[in-house]
Chains A and B, each alone.
Chain A
Amino acid sequence: MTDAIVAPAIKATGLKVHFQTAAGLVRAVDGVDLTVAQGAFHGIVGESGCGKTTLARALIGLQPVTDGQVNILGRDRAEWARADRKGFARAVQFIFQDPLGSMSRRQTVGQTLEEPLMIHGTGDGKARRARVAELLDLVALPDTVLDRLPRSLSGGQRQRVSIARALALSPQVLICDEPLSALDVSVRAQIVNLFARLQAQLGLTIVIVAHDLAIVREVCSAVTVMYLGRVAEEGAARRFFADPAHPYSQALLSAVPSPDPRIEATRPRILLEGDPPSPRNPPPGCRFSTRCPVAEPRCREMEPALRAVPHGGAAACHLADASIHAMI
């Protein structure tokens, strides 16, 4: 057999999303290249306002883009969505942070799950009900929830329903915006494990926007760190966490406390000063230069491009290259 070239699940090039506001232009996403391999569990992390949600929404076309291109499963997304809207919707699904926001308050769980099947004309009533039962099974919900309204469910149950609904049409790609943030710790672990199981079982590609870095390291195969609308660093998750190359990534990881107080009592910590600057006027040169503990004069003039770093991924820092990386 010749080498079949498998198209990435997602490939974004030069993606920009700018918002015109009364206070000026907000560069929420400002030139992002992103490749998500098929079958990957890809985490996107970064601080509030760095553009994660905007990026995730732009990937699936929920957000008009200012510039750049997105290919999904080898096909131009905009062209695909125009030519075959339903086919595109079957292939790619989005899960919102607040599951209540994406469900109708008056629909029961059963109706919520059956709706996409009806819209896409999948099978007759009996086949649809069988599929709904299968979906409940997949996300480990008892069939007693079928007649209940979303409001009456716990946060974890609601998130299971929204995952089941997204899976109804057997998508190949699932994009999730902070599906864990609203959940309590013990329930969060249930949903994380559910994602991991679904991914293995169904061969899904999952992109997950997440706040909790430790969970990303636990379940993701790849990770992208964003800072002020740009990619600061990317790589294979385990290798990235073992050896982050970008000073911002190093500070971000250092900020996560250890659950062991004995380690916490002695661990050296990198404390960044200040908050991230506003995407209204990103600083010139490296966007992290206003907070970077190892910034050099050139950092304030020249914007660093992504370059290969020792962990095998890439980082946008003048002090990083394939053999060394910046060290705070």
Chain B
Amino acid sequence: MTAPIYEVEGLVIDLYTPSVSVRAVDVAGFHVAPGETLAIVGESGSGKTVMTLGPLGLLPEGVAVDLRGTARADGKDILSMSPADLSRLRGGFFGVIFQDPMSALNPMLKIGPQLARQAQLYAGLSAEEARKEAVSLLARSGIPDPEDRYGRYPHELSGGMLQRAMIALALAARPRVLIADEPTTALDATVQAQILALIRQIQKEDGIAVILITHDIGAVSVLADRVAVLYAGQVAEEGSAVDVLTAPVHPYTRGLLASVPDFRSDHATGTREIPGIPPSQTQLEPGCRFADRCDLVQSSCRTHRPPLVRLGAGPVPHRVACPVVIAAEGIVTHD
């Protein structure tokens, strides 16, 4: 197995607003290797964005943050880096695609020069090279007539084209890790399919690591090699996409997948509901975060946090934080 290029362990992130404090991430971690796509899945508020971008210093504004744990990029500890080094790393080593393209693009500047500047700053190109690179990035991102689009302002592009322009911008610095935070949530089905195909193609060609943050199981199924399922700031289950999506073990993962209909299936699927709603992360109860919504809950679930246990002997570790199902179904564990 290739060594991870971005690796986060034992992360705890507390957010304090004047009125409440929230444990957004509660001892969680993940890792991704070059050439690999990791999907981080969970419902809104489960901590996907904060967990992935928090260690890079990209945290919600106007909130006091307490962040602990370890995070390494290319083997280097990033939590002890100076703000200047971290900022450099964010610009060059990591490329980020957001749900809203306008959060990354400057509305006052033409598209092309924004890309060229990025390429000059981080990929070390000359002005002339950077211009060429920008045009070829636009072309590569599936934007028709890139020479013309180079001189356009963001508002002159449609939603799908803007999303492509942002992908081009993220690639301009030649990142080694591409983080896509809900990249297709705001897009229509046909455009979403185009964007997912584009991300996949880029990854194949450049061999970069991709982290896909999403609540859309379909997008995960298209892109991911590995999946981590986040619930209320904790990892409930992780493993290969095939293991997690087709043989889920954690009751939350099972419930989540059963609530996703599959219209290619002959029998009625989906729309099975998980009763209740995720817990507020303001009061920290001991035990399993899913206990209030779980059919299988036992009294021990409420007193001890279930550890992530590795199952089977597959080459890609499949880990699940539910001793109850593991015991009830006699699932063989690894250690």
Binding site for B on A (CB under 8 A): 47-48, 154, 156-157, 184-190, 192-193, 196, 211-215, 217-219, 241, 251-264, 269, 271-276
Contact = CB atoms under 8 A, between A and B. Distances in A.
Given A189-B270, A263-B264, A258 B277 contact: no
B272 A259 contact: no
A262 to B, nearest CB: 6
B222 A257 contact: yes
Nearest to B198: A271
Contacts of B144: 274
**Most chain B C-beta atoms within 10 Å of own C-beta, residue among A185, A192, A211:** A185
A219 B272 CA distance: 12
Interface stretch (B3-11, B63-71, B211-219): B211-219
Contacts of A241: 263
A153 B167 CA distance: 36
Contact of A255 (B160, B193, B262): B193
**Most chain B C-beta atoms within 10 Å of own C-beta, residue among A184, A211, A257:** A257
Q: Classify the interface of chain A: helix, strand, loop or mixed.
A: helix
Contact of B270 (A187, A214, A260): A214
Interface string B282-304: 00000000000000000000000
Contacts of B159: 48, 275
Given A185-B260, A186-B256, A257-B219, A269 B193 contact: yes
Given A47-B188, A215-B271, A187 B218 contact: no
Contacts of A48: 159, 188
A189 B271 contact: yes
Contacts of A275: 158-161, 191
A264 B274 contact: no
A218 B246 contact: no
Given A154-B277, A189-B271, A259-B217, A272 B194 contact: yes
Contacts of B333: none
B161 A253 contact: no
A275 B158 CA distance: 8
B224 interface: yes
A261 B261 CA distance: 14
B327 interface: no
Identify the 7 closest CB pairs spanning chains A and B, nearest first: A257-B218, A189-B259, A255-B193, A214-B261, A47-B188, A184-B43, A255-B189
B268 interface: yes
Interface in B233-279: 241-242, 245-246, 255-257, 259-264, 268-275, 277
A272 B190 contact: yes
A262 B271 contact: no
Contacts of A193: 271, 273
Given A255-B189, A271-B193, A275-B161, A186 B262 contact: no
A186 B219 CA distance: 16
